[in-house]
Amino acid sequence: MEYSLEEVMETINMTLYHNFDIRTVTLGVNLKDCIDSDLSVFKSNVYKRIADCGKTLVSEAGKLEDKYGIPIINKRISVTPVSLIVESSSSSAPLEIAKTLDRAARDAGIDFIGGYGALVQKGMTKADARIIDSLPEALSCTERVCAFLNVASTPSGMNMDAVVRLGGIIKEISDRTENGVGCARFVAFSNAPEDNPFMAGAFHGVGEPDFSLNIGISGPGVVRSVVEKNRECDLTALSEIIKRTAFKITRAGELIGRELAVNLGVPFGIVDISLASTTKVGDSVAGIVEMMGIERMGAPGSTAALALLIDAVKKGGAMASGNVGGLSGTFIPVSEDSCMNDAVKCRALSIEKLEALTAVCSVGLDMIAIPGDTPAETISAIIADELSIGVVNGKTTGVRLIPVPGKKAGDYVNFGGLLGETYVMEVNRFSPRDFILRGGRMPSPITSMRN
């Protein structure tokens, strides 16, 4: 892959003036061969594997930042879903492994480590159930561990028994952590990808090699700048402009990813071309939509504008790389996107409109603060609604809800750092209890029969 001088100069300008960065480099690590019947040996194997890999990742990523001048914001590790490696261990093993992962990540300088979770879209093993039950304690006694549950898929339908349990689990996580912020490190998925580099839902899938290097790029600020320069063109031309910009962003990201993989001596996995907002002014997906001509994110036309945006980004990324994967969508996290937060404050944006937006983008209802007294069954129902969109449409969707203790709709909450700040969103007061508590499994849609 050769790069022209013009491309190099464009990348420099994107980095200097429009917040372009590599959002994350995530090393996928297989832990199945760390299993031992002796829990102390098992933990020692896991610690050594993560600490050694993590230190090398941080060191080599730092060298590439210095070489190219492109910031690499997060260095992360994803591991084999923990439920798969504790099947034959004692009931205390999940929590002990969570603590071991956290300690190893901290000692290695890794920002987050993902994979504490299970794939339960069709049913639960005893190990899966132990993982679910341990989530409140695991996320309240660790700082860097991220957790996930894949509770639905298009081929399998939705495990409503797991969804019912999640409402109470999320409330308990919230109660155990300041402002409920532990919930920011947990995501419920439908159709979770095995090569996702973004937290909180990253895990190293069973179809992956022992190691793989996945890269998550970003660039809302870059896309916003080109949209701002093209206020008068029609939507066909605007789509083409965004597509070309996404091509350039992806090319720059893949250069970094492939070189880092070579330096680490591991296979290069995928480039995730998701547009991921940050709390920086101008680095906002909602800001792009508003720059396209929507007065405020959430107004009529927002879904159409977002659909155009993500389609153009995916087309540009797919032209630039044969290794596009992961989520590759548009994140719309409320607390981490300043323009999204403003839209919530002025009531242009509701949970119902956010749900509609997720039909055309990834990853779903993300980083949404809701009243702390929201009933558990209502939380489960919101999760079921969102994941149903993924099941029926054959796409990945996810949910990160944060019930904030002591807060009501309209109250302000600051989660700190990259997690941002937001206003608590109003939740429909009518109850889904009788429906949700039926449990069971929602069958897969007829569209899943493709073989």
Which of 55-64, 215-224, 242-251, 441-450 reaches the highest mean pLDDT? 55-64
DSSP sequence for 393-415: HT--EEEEEEEETT--TT-EEE-
Span(s) in the chain for CATH 3.20.70.20? 5-190, 217-438
Taking the CA atoms of residue 372, residue 165, residue 130 and residue 103 in that order, the dihedral angle to the nearest 10 degrees is -30
Question: Is residue 8's pLDDT more than 80?
Answer: no
Please enumerate in sequence order all residues whose Cβ is within 8 A of that of 278, keeping only pairs 6 or more positions apart, or say none. 19, 218, 220, 336, 337, 418
Q: 161: which 2 tokens? A: 């028994």
Q: 335: which 2 tokens? A: 């607390």
Residues facing 147 on adjacent strands: 116, 186
Which residue pairs, CB below 8 angstroms and at least 24 apart, start in 303-309? 303/356, 303/357, 303/359, 303/360, 306/330, 306/332, 306/357, 306/360, 306/361, 307/360, 307/361, 308/235, 308/238, 308/239, 308/242, 309/223, 309/242, 309/275, 309/285
Q: What value does the mean pLDDT take over residues 36-47?
A: 95
Question: Is residue 112's pLDDT more than 90?
Answer: yes
Question: Is residue 104's pLDDT more than 60?
Answer: yes
Q: What is the DSSP-derived secondary structure letter of residue 154? A: T
Please enumerate in sequence order all residues whose Cβ is within 8 A of that of 344, keeping only pairs 6 or more positions apart, or say none. 334, 422, 423, 425
Contact status, residue 199 vs residue 143, Cβ threshold 8 Å: no
Q: 215: which 2 tokens? A: 């890269």
Contact status, residue 147 vs residue 118, Cβ threshold 8 Å: no
Q: Return the number of other C-beta atoms located less than 10 Å from residue 71's C-beta.
A: 12
Q: What value does the mean pLDDT take over residues 209-215?
A: 95
Q: What is the DSSP-derived secondary structure letter of residue 447? A: G
| Terminal-residue alpha carbon distance, the chain | 36
Average pLDDT, the chain: 90
CATH code for the part of the protein at 217-438: 3.20.70.20
Q: 269: which 2 tokens? A: 């996995």
Taking the CA atoms of residue 140, residue 143, residue 145 and residue 149 in that order, the dihedral angle to the nearest 10 degrees is 40
DSSP sequence for 276-329: ---SSTT--HHHHHHHTT-SSTTSTTHHHHHHHHHHHHHHHHHHH-S-B-S--S
Give per-residue pLDDT as tens, 140-165.
999 999 999 999 999 999 999 999 99
Main-chain dihedrals φ then ψ at residue 429, nearest 5 degrees: -85, -10
Cα angle 335, 407, 140 (rounded to 5 degrees) comes to 70
* Separation CA 439–CA 165 (nearest Å): 10
Contact status, residue 246 vs residue 217, Cβ threshold 8 Å: no
Question: Is residue 220's pLDDT more than 50?
Answer: yes
* Residue 280 banded pLDDT, cuts 50, 70, 90: confident
Q: Which of 10-14, 75-79, 339-343 has the lowest mean pLDDT?
A: 10-14
CATH code for the part of the protein at 5-190: 3.20.70.20
Q: 322: which 2 tokens? A: 């044969």
With CA atoms as reference, report the closest residue to 320 among 250, 415, 425. 250
Q: What value does the mean pLDDT take over residues 74-88?
A: 95
Give per-residue pLDDT as tens, 326-345.
888 778 888 888 898 999 99
